[in-house]
Amino acid sequence: MMSGVHRLKQSITAIKGIGDETAVALAEMNIYSIEDLLEHYPFRYEDYRLKDLTEVKHEERLTLEGKVQSEPSLVYYGRKKSRLTVKLLVDHFLIQVIFFNQPYLKKKIVLNETIQVTGKWDMHRRTITASEMQLGPSNQKEMLSPVYHVKGTITVKGIRRFLQLAFQQYGDKINETLPQHLLAKYRLPSRKESIKMIHFPSDDDDIKQARRRIVYEEFLYFQLKMQALRKFEREQSQGVMQSYDLKKLKGFLHSLPFPLTNAQKRVVNEILADMKSPYRMSRLLQGDVGSGKTVVAAIALFASISAGFQGALMVPTEILAEQHAESLIGLLQAFNIQCELLTSSVKGKKRKEILERLQLGEIDVLIGTHALIQDEVHFHKLGLVITDEQHRFGVEQRKILREKGENPDVLFMTATPIPRTLAITVFGEMDVSVIDEMPVGRKTIETYWAKHEMLERVLAFMEKELAKGRQAYVICPLIEESEKLDVQNAIDVHAALMTYFDGRYQIGLMHGRLNADEKDTVMKAFSQNELQVLVSTTVVEVGVNVPNATLMVIYDAERFGLAQLHQLRGRVGRGSEQSYCILLANPKTEIGKERMQIMTETNDGFVLSEKDLELRGPGDFFGKKQSGVPEFKLADMVHDYRTLETARNDAAMMIQSEEFWHSPSYAALRDYLHKSEVLKGEKLD
């Protein structure tokens, strides 16, 4: 006999009443098996339950019952457009009902008869814009009706009917997947009950309870994969044990021109503990722009070198590599530590020499771009790899890096504050450290939001700053669909500013179409104040350090994510002078306005990134190309964040426990893990 699980894996056509043609249409919606259908959850419910008008909120959807008080009046406008209005007495209130483009209803609505209408309530106008109508007083029982995403020939009503059939024929075969003690602990309904309640709820509580269970289960499955991957990584990959010299390290700390912040101390300890352990470190270090990650990197590198290893620092651009090399040499040189820079512009004899000395172990720290992960680069004894702005490196490069050398410890640094929710999902296989405190005495960057009409005033302000001897960035948005447009935009703005400043100041132009050398030349000219204004696309986004720049103007700011705006803003405020950021934006939506507003209100990258995630959703957070954000059928990482955390902790505990790997109550979860894509080919037990 087939087990319940297997039965639900059968093709959808096993359901009597669903034929081949329907199956083809359902396949378009990625519904192939009975289980797929059962897990095609509604995204909202139509509420046909009668409501008390006094309790209804503005813009809420609802069903009302009342007596018709006027002859319906029908108005045509435009082509095929019509508006039907009628007055309705609901309880003691007289309200207006509007139907758009349903002229045929006019004949059905009769004065003094009772009707029910379903639609959206406008509290201020005491009007309901109705999409549905029923004649006569309500006799059917109060109802919540699920609404599904559909495609092609499949309708919502169709899905409802298919689900009814599925339940009649296979409802009994929905087996439990979670161990009983977890159901008891969180008071979750069974899998069968939950799936039933989510599709056929009798009240709001059914939906709530069903959701709780399904969301938890989805997160748990996902986190089990992540935690298993992590366990696997740790056990399979014996890392290097770096027994650093604590005394020397303390000497180094004393040599720093400032005391570490508490947050820096905490993350340094987390990193050192990893390095000393036999596990291979795989840690994400997050810290807002200016929070002092470089010095943390220097400490980790120092520790590694004192233990007899070499270190590498990898960054996404040449400009950044040079800047990092400069600061690291400044910090480490006094301790006789050899640092070298390797980028694609280091060529010929010099390159050969560096590669040789590296292999001999004469170079302690190598700093560079992607050049570092090329085949020709061989370390003598690589112990620690650090990457800066790691989100720029895709998952693939993350992997190459981990595979380079003899299992070096890896630290990924990023200034993009990744909301906790995303960090524990997207980077779930890593440990996370956070620098959540700024060094004392930082001036906050004053941020203003101006409409494009105010450009003249903004330029006047810019001129004032320039007259004081300061410099300014002007950023034009990156338009993903069209690189051309993007470049054109920067070119136009550059031309306009040339006209405006008329030779009084030098204005540079930078965009993605320039090659690395050209970019470098422009950037150097700006950092040496040969250019006072730099018009650029987002290529200046990361790491660039020109302390004399005090003004950042961002065109069409509403096109950027908040996290990105914050990154851009971080290019100023690096010197001792007060800095400013001006967002030029005419957002069309309320959300757009809210986003500009919040930029002016906070300088906290984490607050902004959480807000960004909330406003734009996880898919948009990293941009489409390398999001890697998992998709859930019902769960929402932002709103169900607490459940996500709970599931994560539970998953971590399970993976560590003996019981999980042997007890029958975990059989379904184990089975799922063994079949999951992530762990294909890996042996877990």
Residue 286 Cβ vs ligand ADP, minimum distance, rounded to whole Å: 10
Distance between CA 388 and CA 318 in Å, rounded? 12
Q: Would you count residue 579 as binding ligand ADP (CB under 6 A)?
A: no
Scanning 258-266, 358-366, 534-542, 634-642 for contacts with ligand ADP by CB under 6 A, the matching segment is 258-266
For residue 29, give the DSSP letter.
T
Residues, the chain:
685
Q: Would you count residue 269 as binding ligand ADP (CB under 6 A)?
A: no
Which of 339/487 has CB closer to ligand ADP? 339
Q: Would you count residue 287 as binding ligand ADP (CB under 6 A)?
A: yes
Q: Which of 73, 258, 350, 374 binds ligand ADP (CB under 6 A)?
A: 258
Residue 333 Cβ vs ligand ADP, minimum distance, rounded to whole Å: 15
Residue 49 Cβ vs ligand ADP, minimum distance, rounded to whole Å: 54
Scanning 10-18, 286-294, 299-307, 675-683 for contacts with ligand ADP by CB under 6 A, the matching segment is 286-294
Within the chain, what is the greatest distance between any pair of CA atoms? 97
Q: Would you count residue 290 as binding ligand ADP (CB under 6 A)?
A: yes
Q: What is the CA radius of gyration of the chain?
A: 31
Contact 613, 422 (CB under 8 A): yes
Residue 328 Cβ vs ligand ADP, minimum distance, rounded to whole Å: 11
Distance between CA 65 and CA 56 in Å, rounded? 14
Alpha-helical segments (H) within 28-172: 34-38, 156-170
- Cβ burial 225-239 (10 Å sphere, 16+ → b, else e): bbbbbbebbbeeeeb
Scanning 106-114, 289-297, 355-363, 508-516 for contacts with ligand ADP by CB under 6 A, the matching segment is 289-297
Which of 34/268 has CB closer to ligand ADP? 268
Which of 118/609 has CB closer to ligand ADP? 609
Q: Would you count residue 415 as binding ligand ADP (CB under 6 A)?
A: yes
Q: Would you count residue 414 as binding ligand ADP (CB under 6 A)?
A: no
Residues near 28 by beta carbon (within 8 Å), at least 6 away in sequence: 151, 152, 154
CA atoms within 13 A on the CB side of 136: 3
Q: Would you count residue 295 as binding ligand ADP (CB under 6 A)?
A: yes
Contact 378, 305 (CB under 8 A): no
Please give the C-alpha separations between residue 650 and each of 424, 605, 637, 639, 683, in angstroms, as whole numbers.
Answer: 13, 29, 17, 19, 22
Which of 116/291 has CB closer to ligand ADP? 291
Q: Would you count residue 507 as binding ligand ADP (CB under 6 A)?
A: no
Contact 574, 471 (CB under 8 A): no
Q: Which of 230, 293, 511, 611 binds ligand ADP (CB under 6 A)?
A: 293
Residues near 387 by beta carbon (within 8 Å), at least 6 away in sequence: 313, 314, 315, 393, 398, 401, 410, 411, 412, 413
Residue 529 token pair: 């104040």
- Count residues near ligand ADP (CB under 6 A): 14
Binding mask 424-443 for ligand ADP (x = CB under 6 A): ---------------x----
Q: Would you count residue 512 as binding ligand ADP (CB under 6 A)?
A: no
Q: Which of 13, 63, 261, 536 binds ligand ADP (CB under 6 A)?
A: 261
CB atoms < 10 A from the CB of 10, how many?
16
Scanning 223-231, 292-300, 446-454, 496-504 for contacts with ligand ADP by CB under 6 A, the matching segment is 292-300
Which of 100/258 has CB closer to ligand ADP? 258
Contact positions vs ligand ADP (CB under 6 A): 258, 260-261, 264, 287, 289-295, 415, 439
